[in-house]
Amino acid sequence: MPTGVARSWPPQVYPDFNSRARRFPRSGYRMAGRRLTQRQRERIERLQKRRRESAGQGTDAQDGAGLGPEQTGLVIANHGQTLIVENGAGQLCRCAVRQNLGRLACGDRVVWRAFDTGEGVVVAVGERHTLLARPDYNGQLRPIAANLDAVAVVLAPTPEPSEYLIDRYLVAIAAIGARGLLVLNKIDLLDRSGLAALAERLEPYRRIGYPLLLASGHAAHGLNELRAWLRGRTSLLAGQSGVGKSSLIKALLPDREIRIQAVSAATGHGTHTTSASTLYHLPDGGDLIDTPGVRSFELGEIGSNDLDRGFPELAPYLGRCRFSDCRHETEPDCALRAATECGEIAPRRLDSYRQLRAMLQAAAKLG
Ligand SMILES: Nc1nc2c(ncn2[C@@H]2O[C@H](COP(=O)(O)OP(=O)(O)O)[C@@H](O)[C@H]2O)c(=O)[nH]1
Ligand SMILES: [Mg+2]
Ligand SMILES: [Zn+2]
């Protein structure tokens, strides 16, 4: 971990966290009492009492008492213990979450039931195929986005891109099992030679399989290609502050304001602010999760396998150095350095790999 970077602030990636979702039981729940209104709480207590009384009689007393049938939904906004869930017909419902389900995130697929008050309760969460999480202020892991298929790393001429930062994003993306895409935004700021120079600098990423799209949110350039790439996927835009993520999101989502108003209406009390994570449907298909607090993500508790997954081009050479504990620095017969000298590996990528490996090893020694 570089010094001066607060561990708790940037979101981190915890691949093992995904496994928690599989253990969520569908029954034997306790109600999430704290965030329910007094009226709801009383209702639930009555229901539970009646349920206990009717246990063994083969009836589901809940159905007769204002709790509708189970239905599936998608979490599209998250305000702590209150979620906005969208049903199959596109209707939004404010839902509490049963406590034993833990924290949910935008992108979670859920089973929920509506009260006759119009609000609902989430009773189960589907297995997540990916989960991006970060620790909150007291170190508890907090899910940020569930079921992401892809993360677009947005870059721009300013702020100047850093290969090390890009590589850290790509490792984090590979660690959760999502696909990575590079978007070089604000190309309206570049002349022909400036663009050629920056594209050349990013060429190593294209060579190892990361698509590179050129875009300008302001000049509405490259947006069709970006839309085509996002279609059919659940994605998130990541990148340093100032690269133009918010501008791109606005350009991609012409109905964003309408959606924000609909989410606000569904929250009932208080309004939905854009500082909360929100899942938007893209007009051409696909979903975009906007998590404005998430500027960059950091490596968290990832192992060296995750690191290696973020450097696919090293795979043919790993384990082929003369020394099994080779640090790929000055050791003789280093397969990675030899491959770099032959042009098979970009020197900057090897630099990043060495730095990240050293960082992970130092972190492992600490504890
Ligand atoms: N020239 C140019 N400026 C842009 C473009 N997109 C965003 N900006 C500017 O870059 C700054 C940061 O944009 P913003 O979308 O807030 O970036 P974010 O921090 O990544 O969300 C703002 O001053 C924008 O007006 C673009 O395509 N071209
Ligand atoms: Mg922004
Ligand atoms: Zn080596």
What is the domain-level CATH number for residue 228? 3.40.50.300
Q: Cα of 246 to ligand 1 centre, how many Å?
A: 7
CATH of the domain at 59: 2.40.50.140
Nearest CA to ligand 1 atom 12: 242
Q: Which pLDDT score is estimated for 324?
A: 94
pLDDT of residue 43: 59
My answer on whether 284 and 181 are in the same domain is yes
Task: Decide: 274 in ligand 1 pocket, CB within 6 A.
Answer: no
On whether both 232 and 327 belong to a single domain, the answer is no
Domain extent for 211: 149-255+266-290
Task: Determine the distance separating the centroid of ligand 3 and the alpha carbon of 306, expressed in angstroms.
Answer: 18
Report how far residue 145's alpha carbon sits from residue 25's, in angstroms, rounded to the nearest whole number. Answer: 21
277 and 156 part of one domain: yes
Instruction: Give tens-digit pLDDT for 2-28.
Output: 333 333 333 333 333 333 333 333 322
In whole angstroms, what is the distance from residue 364 CA to residue 211 CA?
A: 33
Q: Is residue 68 part of a domain?
A: yes
Ligand nearest to the CA of 325: 3
For atom 8 of ligand 1, the residue with the nearest CA is 244
In a domain, 14, yes or no: no
Residue 96 lies in a domain: yes
Residue 181, pLDDT score: 97
pLDDT at 305: 82
| Overall number of domains in the chain | 3
What angle, 0 to 180 degrees and rounded to 10, lies between the N-to-C axes of helices 163-176 and 347-366? 60
- Rounded (5°) CA angle 10-216-223: 95
Question: How far is the centre of ligand 2, averaged over its atoms, from the C-alpha of 290 (Å)?
Answer: 9
- Probe residue for ligand 1, chosen from 247, 252, 256 as the CB with the greatest number of ligand atoms within 8 Å: 247
Euclidean distance between CA atoms 124 and 307, whole angstroms:
33
Is 4 among the domain residues? no
Between the CA of 323 and the centroid of ligand 3 the distance, in Å, is: 7
pLDDT at 200: 96
Residues 160 and 212 in one domain: yes
222 and 343 together in one domain = no
Residue 206 lies in a domain: yes
Tens of pLDDT, residue by residue, the chain (367 residues): 333 333 333 333 333 333 333 333 332 222 332 334 455 556 555 555 554 444 333 334 345 468 899 999 999 998 877 899 999 999 999 999 988 888 899 999 999 999 988 899 999 999 999 998 877 777 777 888 999 999 999 999 999 999 999 999 999 899 999 999 999 999 999 999 999 999 999 999 999 999 999 999 999 999 999 999 999 999 999 998 899 999 999 999 999 999 988 888 888 766 666 667 899 999 999 999 998 766 555 655 677 788 999 999 999 999 999 999 999 999 999 999 999 999 999 999 999 999 999 988 887 787 6
Please tell me if the CB atom of residue 251 comes closer than 6 angstroms to any atom of ligand 1.
Answer: no
203 & 285 share domain: yes
Looking at the fold, whether 154 and 203 belong to one and the same domain comes out as yes
> Which of the listed residues 90, 125, 160 is the one where a domain comes to its end?
125
40-49 long-range CB contacts below 8 Å, 24 or more apart?
40/96, 40/115, 40/117, 40/119, 43/115
| Domain annotation covers residue 132 | no
User: In CATH, what number is assigned to the domain containing residue 333?
Assistant: 1.10.40.50
Assess contact for 11 and 175: CB atoms under 8 A.
Answer: no
| Residue 79 belongs to some domain of the structure | yes
- 68/157 same-domain check: no
* Nearest ligand 1 atom to alpha carbon 221: 27
In a domain, residue 248? The reply is yes
Which residue has its alpha carbon closest to ligand 1 atom 2?
Answer: 186
Same domain, 107 and 45: yes
- Name residue, tokens 């010094």: 3
- CA nearest ligand 1 atom 23, residue: 242
Cβ 169 vs Cβ 151: under 8 Å: yes
Same domain, 270 and 334: no
Residue of the nearest CA to atom 3 in ligand 1? 186
**Whether residue 319 is found in the same domain as residue 362:** yes
337 ligand 1 Cβ < 6 A? no
Is any atom of ligand 1 closer than 6 Å to the C-beta of 216? yes
Atom of ligand 1 nearest to the CA of 240: 20
Cβ–ligand 1 distance for 223 under 6 Å, the answer no
Residue nearest atom 11 of ligand 1, based on CA coordinates:
242
The pLDDT value recorded for residue 115 is 92
User: What pLDDT does residue 141 have?
Assistant: 75
pLDDT tens track for 296-325 = 556 556 777 889 999 999 999 999 999 999
Nearest Cα neighbor of 22 from 146, 161, 185, 153 is 146
Q: Do both 167 and 62 map to the same domain?
A: no
pLDDT score, position 25: 30
